[in-house]
Amino acid sequence: MKPIVPKKNEPVRIGFYICHCGTNIASVVDVEAVAKYAATLPNVAVSRTYKYMCSDPGQELIQQDIQESRLNRIVVAACSPLLHEHTFRKATEAGGLNPFYFQMVNIREHDSWVHTDRTEATRKAMALARAAIQRVPHHKPLEVKKVGINPNVLIVGGGIGGIHAALTLANAGKMVYLVEKEATIGGHMAKFDKTFPTLDCAMCVLSPKMAAIGSHPNIHLWTYSEVAKVDGYVGNFKVTVRRKPRYILEDLCTGCQECVNACVYKDAKFADEFNLGLGKRKPIFLPFPQAIPPVTMIDPEVCLNFKRGKNPDGSHTVSDKCKKTCVEACGDRKAIDFKQTQEIKEITVGTIIVATGFQIFDARRIPYYGYGVYPNVYNALEVERLINASGPTEGEVILRNGQVPKKVAIVHCVGSRDENTNRWCSRVCCLYSLKLAHLIKEHTHAEVYNFYIDMRTPGKGMEEFYNRIAEEGMHLIRGRVADVYPDPNDGATGRLVVQAEDTLTNKILKIPVDMVVLATGLEPHPEAESLRRMFNLSCSSEGWFLERHPKLAPVNTFTDGIFLAGCCQGPKDIPDTVAQAGAAAAEAFALIDKGHVEQEPNTAYILDDCCGCKSCIPLCPYTAISFAEDTKKAIINETLCKGCGTCVASCPSGSIVQNLFEDVEIYSEIDGVLAEGLF
Amino acid sequence: MANATQSPLPNSTWKPRIVAFFCNWCTYTAADLAGVSRMKHFSNVRIIRLMCSGRVDPQFVLEALAKGADAVLIGGCHPNDCHYVEGNYKCLRRYQMLKRMIADMGIEPERLRLEWISAAEGEKLKRVVNEMVETITKLGPLGLPQKFEQWDREMEEFANHVAARDAAAGGGCAEHGTNTQPLETAHA
Ligand SMILES: Cc1cc2nc3c(=O)[nH]c(=O)nc-3n(C[C@H](O)[C@H](O)[C@H](O)COP(=O)(O)OP(=O)(O)OC[C@H]3O[C@@H](n4cnc5c(N)ncnc54)[C@H](O)[C@@H]3O)c2cc1C
Ligand code: SF4
Ligand code: SF4
Ligand code: FES
């Protein structure tokens, strides 16, 4: 099709289209009346309604009209431009016009979906349509800018989500930087013994993937590291990563752990983080046996070779008071370095995947469950570690006093579906509670009571899993646990009573048990807020990172080139995390493979009228504006300008123009929306 | 355009007319979210999309009021969340200046409101819109275009009065000669 370039003085001919969106719009807005009204407005040559404008026939209608009725501007009143502006720009272009001769009117999200009065909604649609119809005559043909894209990818968070995304991209030949804040990758999954619904061994599937990350030529793995700063934009992000000192030189450490054995501390006596304090470690330790990288680290807070306490900048000072038997044991490998300091790395990447996961709800926030008060009350993650063959008890489910529990209560929905704590359903707790019930029974032959509010088991294979576990002979009690208290008939064993109302029989139950397991829900990380700021993301009101569109762009964010994977976006299980990680990798890959990113041409430029006052120059957050000494005028570097329009609004001589948002365009919209009689 | 400004639907009684300038990344998206979540709110707020609240030229606000808006609502990202780093701070500065300016012009400060509404705050958007409509309904119309017309009429009357007086005096004004032009009206 030949591109149609409207000649200078050719009259403006607008095609106006209003979409029924099935009944989404038409049931509230009188679309016929709006089309009739639009037809009376100046420059409107064609005015139509159509059932689904975004469908192929809808788009073809536009293309056909452009050719047959010599249209040179297109206005579509339908859904949000954030959803379909792109679609209609493409249709406008396919019809032979410059795509920027198009303007969209939002009469679904901003009108039919939020108003009920047909007259008012119709008037609003008319006013908004008028604004666009008055705006388009001022539109100019514009070019989409193409800028190159850096093929490297940054992945933040090395849980199963980050791991899967990293391997997918690295296997496709992309260079990946994987930044994990803990000393090992693996995330929560590395703590589990078995996973629902298949009850397959978690580490059997995870550890090969972790090992592949550690040895992949295309992956730079930076554990015990944090992203400190992000600048730039899609295709070209400049990222600063801070690598915290672990006092071990990663390249030299072979993971033999001879240093750990040689440590002057003969016994492990410090709470071990990986086992949530249920086990003990030495000042020098490997985070857990299958850690990747398989490199030890030193805890300067307890190592005798460091002075106690931190310096104001967070660093630690070497005291040199220890015999350093570890250094002796390491010998020629020379992998221990007490003088190691934090290292700052600067990298450039084109795309970023955020996969920072979740934290579990802190059960101390519900005091009547007694977590942190009664030693026999555990959270689910601790029980995962107790069940785990490589955990602190080598897979024996024993209480803190060394006894094997005979009766166990599992309390569902702790910190989920609760007005007082978190309102959302954490999605995995019912299922992992069933898993834990099965595993506890298998390990201890205990009698297990599951207290649930509703048994939620959606997803492939999950209901079958529920049936299977239920048949194993659990007590499944529908009722929220109201209280956990020490059994008055008990001496020193720490037995507890769980009180709940069975809502199916309307009976108050008081069941004495040896162990209470709290199925703690999933929560956003406390530092999600600072990450959000750094990556310029949005969060839902609960604090989960917000996807660009819940259905159509579930791994995209509002910042181009930044994608989400896993539980940082919301609670989900491992299969969904992996699926999302694959999708995020594919989105990043698609961008990289295209070789360039297209940028909205909404940049600003300065007219000759500039009086040289320089007031715009300090306003630009991207330092895109400079002063040309020869002409004594300001100039905007188009490649640096991101099109915010801040300078435009400030210029006292009105000499700055923002493409797509020119002053005349906004003024004609103001005039349009205020149309007489349309309120 | 004359007939276009005629009401196509009969019986329009007075309702506040509010023009809103929303940034693309937060508040416009919040309005979309309110839509997707079907959060019903008043229909009197007409949204104009800008890329950033930093694009809001004080002139836009004055123009909207001059063209008949009873109030203006500006929506941007929360502090530190602006997609363009700090456009919202620039907007805040201009807003504070505008607040003083409109007060000096005798316009109630409630007629201009700035709100930070993030992409996730559909609920807040609904609340702000409804509150604003209620406040302005109580305040009543601003009616600047009508006031302009009235002022123009008064100016014209005054000019006629001066001309008539000068004519009666016979010689005209010493400085301007005999052919006194009618004073230019403020809003021709
Ligand atoms: C008790 C329990 C049992 C479960 N059992 C099962 C099961 O049997 N089957 C199943 O399918 N699902 C199960 N789940 C759900 C499962 O844990 C999640 O689906 C999965 O862990 C999500 O992976 P992720 O990578 O998104 O997050 P995570 O596993 O949380 O990993 C995130 C990673 O990012 C790192 N990180 C966080 N912040 C930063 C930062 N600022 N910078 C760098 N790195 C950072 C973290 O250290 C972590 O390594 C269970 C959950 C719980 C709580
Ligand atoms: S503010 Fe306007 S006049 Fe002043 S230097 Fe910038 S472009 Fe030129
Ligand atoms: S529009 Fe924004 S980014 Fe572009 S030059 Fe002006 S202030 Fe800078
Ligand atoms: S982008 Fe929302 S205020 Fe700047």
Per the CB < 8 Å rule, is B121 touching A541?
yes
pLDDT at residue B132 is higher than 90: yes
Provide the residue type at A440 as one letter.
I
Q: Give the whole-angstrom CA distance, residue A203 versus residue A189.
A: 8
Q: Residues A530, A550: contact at Cβ < 8 Å?
A: no
pLDDT tens for each residue of A353-368: 999 999 999 999 999 9
Per the CB < 8 Å rule, is B3 touching A40?
yes
Q: A492 pLDDT band (50/70/90 cuts)?
A: confident
Q: Residues A209, A162: contact at Cβ < 8 Å?
A: no
**Whether residue A372 is found in the same domain as residue A496:** yes
According to the model, what pLDDT value does residue A491 have? 72
Of all atoms in ligand 2, which is nearest to the CA of residue A607? Answer: 7
Residue A455 within a domain = yes
Q: Residues A222, A243: contact at Cβ < 8 Å?
A: yes
pLDDT at residue B11 is higher than 80: no
| Annotated domain spans of chain B | 18-141, 143-179
Of A366, A352, A414, residue with least CA distance to A157: A352
Quick one: CA dihedral A679, B2, B4, B7, positive or negative?
A: positive
Query: CATH number, domain at A632?
Result: 3.30.70.20
According to the model, what pLDDT value does residue A183 have? 97
Calculate helix-pair angle for A118-135, A31-39, nearest 10 degrees.
30
Number of domains comprising chain A: 3
Q: Give the whole-angstrom CA distance, residue B186 versus residue A506.
A: 79
Quote the Cα angle for B36-B42-B44, to 5°. Answer: 115
pLDDT tens for each residue of A167-190: 999 999 999 999 999 999 999 999
Pocket test for ligand 3, best of B23, B24, B57, B84 (most atoms within 8 A of CB): B84
Q: Give the whole-angstrom CA distance, residue A206 versus residue A189.
A: 8
According to the model, what pLDDT value does residue A550 have? 85
**Mean pLDDT over residues A32-47, rounded?**
98
- Cis, peptide link before residue A293, omega less than 30° from 0: yes
Long-range contacts of B8-11 (CB under 8 A, 24+ apart): B8/A33, B8/A36, B8/A37, B8/A40, B8/A126, B8/A677, B8/A678, B9/A33, B9/A119, B9/A122, B9/A123, B9/A677, B9/A678
Residue A506 within a domain = yes
Q: Which of A292-296, B126-130, B152-156 has the lowest mean pLDDT?
A: B152-156
**Whether residue A137 is found in the same domain as residue A38:** yes
- Chain B residues whose CB is inside 8 A of the A540 CB are 120
Lookup result for tokens 């620039």? B90
Lookup result for tokens 């679609």? A87
Residue A624 within a domain = yes
pLDDT cut 70: percent of chain B above it: 84
According to the model, what pLDDT value does residue B171 have? 56
**Mean pLDDT over residues A102-123, rounded?**
97
Ligand 2 pocket by Cβ (under 6 Å): A 606, 610-616, 634, 651, 653, 655-656
A668 touches chain B (CB under 8 A): no
Here the tokens at position A282 are 């030495």
Of A351, A345, A350, residue with least CA distance to A222: A345
Q: Residues A244, A225: contact at Cβ < 8 Å?
A: yes
pLDDT tens for each residue of A435-447: 999 999 999 999 9
- 3 state DSSP class of A181: coil
Residue A336 within a domain = no
* Residue A258, Cβ density class (10 Å: 0-12 exposed, 13-18 middle, ≥19 buried): middle
Per-residue burial over B122-142, b if 16 or more Cβ lie within 10 Å, else e, is bebbbbbbbebbeebeeeeeb
- 3 state DSSP class of A594: helix
Per the CB < 8 Å rule, is B55 touching A645?
yes
Of A85, A88, A32, residue with least CA distance to A60: A88
pLDDT at residue B50 is higher than 50: yes
Of A132, A133, A125, A116, residue with least CA distance to A31: A125
Per the CB < 8 Å rule, is B48 touching A666?
yes
pLDDT at residue A519 is higher than 80: yes
pLDDT cut 70: percent of chain A above it: 99
Last residue of a domain, one of A501, A523, A545: A523
Of all atoms in ligand 2, which is nearest to the CA of residue A627? Answer: 5
Pairing, β A496-502 against β A507-513: antiparallel
Q: What domain range includes position A406?
A: 358-523
- 3 state DSSP class of A521: coil
**Mean pLDDT over residues A90-116, rounded?**
97
Provide the residue type at A524 as one letter.
P
Ligand 4 pocket by Cβ (under 6 Å): B 23, 25-26, 52-54, 76-77, 82-84, 87-88
Task: Give A548's contacts (C-beta < 8 A, 6+ positions apart).
Answer: A556, A557, A558
Q: Residues A132, A75: contact at Cβ < 8 Å?
A: yes
**Nearest residue of B to residue A25 by CA position?**
B35
**Whether residue A404 is found in the same domain as residue A517:** yes
Here the tokens at position A254 are 């072979």
Other CB atoms within a 10 A radius of the CB of residue B7 amount to 14
Chain B nearest C-alpha distance from A662 (Å): 10
Lookup result for tokens 């693996």? A186
Residue A514 within a domain = yes
Query: CATH number, domain at A61?
Result: 3.40.50
Tell how far CA B55 is from the center of its chain.
Answer: 16
A111 touches chain B (CB under 8 A): yes
According to the model, what pLDDT value does residue A678 have? 85
Last residue of a domain, one of A474, A503, A523: A523
Residues found in chain B? 188
Here the tokens at position A495 are 């037995």
Per-residue burial over A601-613, b if 16 or more Cβ lie within 10 Å, else e, is bbbbebeeebeee
Per the CB < 8 Å rule, is B8 touching A677?
yes
Per the CB < 8 Å rule, is B6 touching A658?
no
Query: CATH number, domain at A377?
Result: 3.50.50.60
The radius of gyration of chain A's CA atoms, rounded to the nearest angstrom, is 31
- Please tell me the class of the B18-141 domain: alpha beta
Q: B5 pLDDT band (50/70/90 cuts)?
A: very low
Closest residue to atom 1 of ligand 2, CA basis: A651
Dihedral (C-alpha) B96, B97, B98, B101: value to the nearest 10 degrees? 130
Here the tokens at position A515 are 């162990």
Q: Give the whole-angstrom CA distance, residue A518 versus residue B117.
A: 36
**Whether residue A512 is found in the same domain as residue A610:** no
Q: For the whole model, what pTM was predicted? A: 0.83
**Whether residue A611 is found in the same domain as residue A469:** no
Rounded to the nearest 5°, which phi and psi values hold at B26?
A: -115, -70
Provide the residue type at A100 as one letter.
F
Calculate helix-pair angle for A160-171, A574-594, nearest 10 degrees.
40
Chosen from A670, A671, A678 to mutate, greatest number of chain B CBs within 10 A: A670
Of A40, A117, A679, the CB nearest to B4: A40
Of all atoms in ligand 1, which is nearest to the CA of residue A531? Answer: 41
Residue A250 within a domain = no
ipTM of the prediction greater than 0.85, yes or no: no
Q: How many angstroms separate the alpha carbon of residue A359 from the centre of ligand 1?
A: 8
Angstrom CA distances, A122 to A33, A487, B183, stand at 8, 67, 43
pLDDT tens for each residue of A613-632: 999 999 998 889 999 999 99
Q: Residues A453, A480: contact at Cβ < 8 Å?
A: yes
pLDDT at residue B185 is higher than 80: no
For chain B, first and last CA: distance in Å?
18
Calculate helix-pair angle for B58-66, B87-104, nearest 10 degrees.
40
pLDDT at residue B175 is higher than 70: no
**Mean pLDDT over residues A322-332, rounded?**
95
Residue A248 within a domain = no
